[in-house]
Amino acid sequence: MRITYIHQYFKTPGMSGGTRSYEFARRLVERGHEVHLITGDPDAGRARVTDEAGIVVHWLPVPYSNAMSYRRRLWSFLGFVGRSALVAGRLRHDLVFATSTPLTVAIPGAWAALRRRAPMVLEVRDVWPELPVAMGALRSPVSRWAAERLEAWAYRRAARVIALSPGMAASIRRRFPRVPVTVVPNSCDRTLFAGAGRAGVALRQETPWLGDRPLILYAGTLGLANGVDYLVRMAARLIDTDPEVRIAIVGDGRMRDGIRALAAELGVLDRNLFLLGPVSKAEVVAFFGACDLAASVFVDVPELGSNSPNKVFDAFAAGRPVAVNHDGWIADLITESGAGLVLPPHDTGRAAAAVSAFLSDRAGCRAARAAAYALARDRFDRDLLFEDFVAALTGAQRGEAATAGAGRTAASSRRIHISRAS
């Protein structure tokens, strides 16, 4: 197939951020498909085209940063719609694949599909518009109405929808029962993280503040939704009760300055909490290899429980347990598998006590590591989930009836069954 792949936030392994699109597009190329990927380039002054592992990447000069206000982000989204529609409209393709966020990528995707009379597959990475409404990004009745209309329009023009979690799929099916949905969550790159343990040992040896001390890692965006101040407040409790525990926050985003200011105010900055800059996907391997517990935290908004955070699957790939402070399918998965712990969303004192007890239980930590890696190997391996992904694309291109519309693909259903999340 000739595939036009639209993703505004595409990242290669040499960049900071999730590489799902890179890894899936690379595998499509290896299968013999021709892939043109259209993305934004926040730092570029002009458009350019590169070859990334056989993927023809069209980089468009569209400014974007997590530090932007919601208004500026909206202008970024609209700017990408216009530029990507021009490029996508010129390409010849048998299938268009558009992945959110933002959901506005469906506009150039649908245009390109209509122009070449090809099907569009739409990938949904969060619950829209429920999540932006819950987060306060869409406050006016007009903006909510427009978001709901865009959602309905996008789903009805998609030959198939791929959702990144059972909760997202359930939300879509509840409101749009005729839309065919396949669940393909984020996945674990076991090849990339195969050397995580050795890289982690080296990182510990060259990091004086870490050494042999227990390490909690947060590696990801420092945005409004992430609520990383939770870890700062937990550090303030740990510094009195278990001062040897270290917390490393690796990443960037709108809330970075606020997190630094809070850590300084609470007296934990550069004592037991260390705020580091973003690193590439390749470099983050060492941090996961060094950590004893990886954290995935959010503000207390129920809709965020349906997310599929990359950091969770990177931790599993490295064989590291995960701590979350929210409900949802990941929390259920951790509870059922024993691959970490679920922390109270508001009580950072209890959270600190739970983390301290977990880290001091060596046998329990070993068991949790084994459970985490078993999830990576048996249920979320990237090569396994790619088979579900490519099946959804080829099925849509052939016009096959989407049996996954009432459930998941057969292989995905076996690996991702979570009793309370579906």
The tens digit of pLDDT for each residue in 273-282 reads 999 999 999 9
Cβ neighbours of 299 (radius 10 Å): 18
Rounded CA-CA distance 228/397 in Å is 41
pLDDT, mean of residues 113-137: 86
Band (101; pLDDT cuts 50, 70, 90): confident
pLDDT above 70 as % of the chain: 94
Q: According to the model, what pLDDT value does residue 401 have? A: 54
Q: What is the pLDDT of residues 151-204, one digit of tens each?
A: 999 999 999 999 999 999 998 999 899 999 999 999 999 999 999 999 999 999
Averaged pLDDT for residues 220-227? 94
pLDDT score recorded for residue 71 = 77
Query: Higher confidence at residue 101 or residue 27?
Result: 27
Whether residue 248 is predicted with pLDDT greater than 70 in this model: the reply is: yes
- Would you say residue 247 has pLDDT above 50? yes
pLDDT digits (tens, 9 = 90+) for 291-327: 999 999 999 998 899 999 999 999 999 999 999 999 9
Q: Which residue has the higher pLDDT, 230 or 127?
A: 230
Over residues 11-28, the mean pLDDT reads 95
Closest by CA to 81, choosing from 110, 52, 51, is 110
Residues 130, 110, 10, CA angle at the centre, nearest 5°? 70
* Residue 60 bridge partners (DSSP): 40
Question: Is the predicted pLDDT of residue 406 greater than 80, yes or no?
Answer: no
Q: Does residue 255 register a pLDDT over 60?
A: yes
Q: What is the pTM of this model?
A: 0.91
- pLDDT exceeds cutoff 90 at 389: yes
Write down the mean pLDDT value for the chain. Answer: 91
Residue 416 has pLDDT above 90, yes or no: no
